[in-house]
């Protein structure tokens, strides 16, 4: 019997394609956001509400990840933003190859921002680089204040965390400051925002401003 040393990284293939995607985005000055969160965190609702605002200033395209349906892409298209759908057929995450396949369909010269909505799951998507500039985690207050410490890896690698559904706080036994402390414990550098819906109006102005700033920074380089 012989021992053969291999030393082959099993994520190497994904990472290599992610690096190619990143280079392609950089050469076209496109900022890319990878949005992650549990099912029901409010990812699509958040996007539906910020896209019309973002679209006033920049050209945005969405890539929607979902196990089985086109539901989310249809919701996004109602905002007037182009949405490409990836169905993973049960797969728990998007990978860099799926993104590479989608961006071939786009005219990258006319795009400022691509937002990728990952499959609803806080575990697996965190392990797959897609070539993004920013990782955004969406977490709703209804999921419980300890979500960040229960799923630390997703929060560890997030550049931005959006806490949704804060209008539900009066009805929940959840302390949003505890949730924020947990986020800061794991990742003190993440920019943390809140969204709320009051009297039928969704409020996410600060998030929109922050995203526009990031897009402009990349354009400016």
| From 79-87, 160-168, 186-194, 198-206, span contacting another protein (CB under 8 A) | 186-194
Q: If binding is defined by CB under 8 A, does position 13 make contact with another protein? A: yes
Answer yes or no: are the C-beta atoms of 50 and 205 closer than 8 Å. no
Residue 69 C-beta: closest distance to another protein, Å: 18
- Alpha carbon separation from 55 to 68, 81, 209 (Å, rounded): 27, 8, 12
Q: If binding is defined by CB under 8 A, does position 186 make contact with another protein? A: yes
Task: At 87, give phi and psi (nearest 5°).
Answer: -105, 125
- What's the order of all strands across the beta sheet hosting 82-87? 82-87, 60-66, 113-117, 31-37, 134-140, 160-164, 191-194
Q: If binding is defined by CB under 8 A, does position 184 make contact with another protein? A: yes
Per CB under 8 A, the list member of 11, 78, 217, 219 interacting with another protein is: 11
Task: At 143, give phi and psi (nearest 5°).
Answer: -80, -10
Residue 1 C-beta: closest distance to another protein, Å: 6
Interface residues toward another protein, by CB under 8 A:
1-11, 13, 91-93, 95, 123-124, 126-128, 149, 152-153, 156, 184-186, 188-189
């Amino acid at each position: 019997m012989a021992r053969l040393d291999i030393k082959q990284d099993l994520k190497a293939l994904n990472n290599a394609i992610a690096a190619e995607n990143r280079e392609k985005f950089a050469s076209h000055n496109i900022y890319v956001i990878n949005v992650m969160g549990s099912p029901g965190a409010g990812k699509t609702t958040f996007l539906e509400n910020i896209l019309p605002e973002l679209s006033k200033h920049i050209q945005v395209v969405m890539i929607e990840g979902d196990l089985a349906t086109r539901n989310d892409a249809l919701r996004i298209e109602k905002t007037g933003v182009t949405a490409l759908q990836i169905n993973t057929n049960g797969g728990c995450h998007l990978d860099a190859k799926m993104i590479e396949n989608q961006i071939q369909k786009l005219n990258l010269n006319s795009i400022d921002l691509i937002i990728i909505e990952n499959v609803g799951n806080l575990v697996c998507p965190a392990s797959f680089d897609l070539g993004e500039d920013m990782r955004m985690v969406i977490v709703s207050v209804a999921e419980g204040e300890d979500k960040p410490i229960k799923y630390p890896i997703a929060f560890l690698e997030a550049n931005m965390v959006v806490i949704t559904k804060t209008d539900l706080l009066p009805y929940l036994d959840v302390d949003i400051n505890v949730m924020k402390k947990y986020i800061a414990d794991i990742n003190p550098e993440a920019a943390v925002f809140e969204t709320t819906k009051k009297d039928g109006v969704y409020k996410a102005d600060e998030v929109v401003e922050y995203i526009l700033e990031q897009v402009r920074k990349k354009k400016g380089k």
